[in-house]
Amino acid sequence: MLSRVANCLYWMSRYIERAENVARFIDVNLQIMLDTPAGESEQWQPLVNTTGDHEDYAKRYGTATREKVIEFLAFDPANPNSILSCVRSARENARTVMLQSAGPERSDMDRLQDFFAEVKEASQLFAGITDATMSHGEAWHFCRLGRELERADKTSRILDVKYFLLLRSAEDVGTPFDDLQWAAVLRSASAFEMYRKRHGRISPKGVVEFLVLSRDFPRAILFCLMSARDSLHAISGTPLGTFNHPAEKLLGQLCSDLSFTSVEEIIKGGLHEYLDELQTKVNAVGAGIYETFFAFKTPKHTRRPARQPTQ
């Protein structure tokens, strides 16, 4: 497969997954607002901080308000990580009419939630059609590799929202409001029903274990990284347990570390610190994939000779 074709497939899947997860981020905050007691201030700046776009936002928008943050994360064409930009990047200009027509209704809470639900549904439809109609060869594995890496990263960020966005104060820990917050985190990852079937009562420890270390829930970080690892090895032909390039080594080490980590160790060392380090490692895997498969390398025999100094 041509490098540029593989690159397009990989990033198409990542951008679609990113658009879905940005919709999840915003929807979590909108849902929490419905359960927040009257008089409490809305928290939107932490949402921008969590996505990593705080510097760009501050430069162009200033103070974080609901209207500004939703505009920036959902509809701003100048923000490369907005839903609009992700859809444009994934499918060029196709289907952007739907996004632009949502603009006049951005102040309508019900319409906003419907819009974010449509984004999530469309992303899931794309993934389902891809899995059901594409031959599961090299092209499909590049699609899955991009999707699973993006999903692992965004699940970690959704979980991190608990500490940067949802938790208002230490007094809320263990209260019914705290339970509502953790339920919202599960719903943001489409994990609520599966979690209840597995663990029953909602607890912080149970949620962390389920979203980070589950081997059979499709949006759990370990599940995503193991799926990405399998696709990476299918592309390269390298047997599992070995590696031929840095991306395989980094991803294999990351899967092993997670496989032999307990939820108690994660919580003891600090959930935010653990997730922050994990995101850095996932980014390193992405960089390794770029260098291995997508970066243009001029063959030595075609390189121009160095310019000789003039006499």
By residue count, the chain amounts to 311
In the numeric block, which tokens belong to residue 15? 């951008």
Average pLDDT over residues 165-181: 59
**What pLDDT score was predicted for residue 91?**
72
User: Each residue of 12-63: pLDDT tens digit?
Assistant: 899 999 999 888 888 877 877 776 655 455 678 878 877 778 889 999 999 8
Residue 178 has pLDDT above 80, yes or no: no
Contacts 24+ apart (CB under 8 A), 118-127: 119/19, 119/20, 119/23, 119/83, 120/20, 120/23, 120/24, 120/27, 123/16, 123/17, 123/19, 123/20, 124/20, 126/16, 127/16
Spatial contact of 186 and 195, defined as CB atoms under 8 Å apart: yes
The model's pLDDT over 252-286, given as tens digits with 9 standing for 90+, comes to 999 999 999 999 999 888 888 999 999 999 999 99
Helix then strand then coil, in percent of the chain rounded to 5, is: 75, 0, 25
Work out the pLDDT band at 6, boundaries 50, 70, 90: confident
What is the spatial distance between Cα 93 and Cα 88, in angstroms, rounded to a whole number?
A: 5
C-alpha closest to that of 184 among 209, 206, 159: 159
Q: How far is it, in rounded angstroms, from Cα 103 to Cα 124?
A: 23
Question: Nearest CA to 184 among 205, 161, 200, 201?
Answer: 161
Q: Which residue has the higher pLDDT, 245 or 300?
A: 245
Ranges of H-type helices in 162-220: 176-188, 192-199, 204-213
pLDDT of residue 297: 62
Neighbours of 215 (CB within 10 A): 10
Taking the CA of residue 297 as centre, how many other CA atoms within 13 Å lie in the half-sphere pointing to its CB? Answer: 9
Residue 67 pLDDT > 80, yes or no? yes
Please report which confidence band the pLDDT of residue 302 belongs to, taking 50, 70 and 90 as the band edges: very low
> How confident is residue 104, by pLDDT bands cut at 50, 70 and 90?
very low
Determine the Cα–Cα distance for residues 255 and 240; give it in Å rounded to an integer.
12
- What is the pLDDT at residue 274? 93
CB atoms under 10 Å from CB of 117, counted, come to 12
Q: What's the distance, Cα to Cα, between the start and end of the chain in Å?
A: 47
Burial class (CB in 10 A: 0-12, 13-18, 19+), 237: exposed
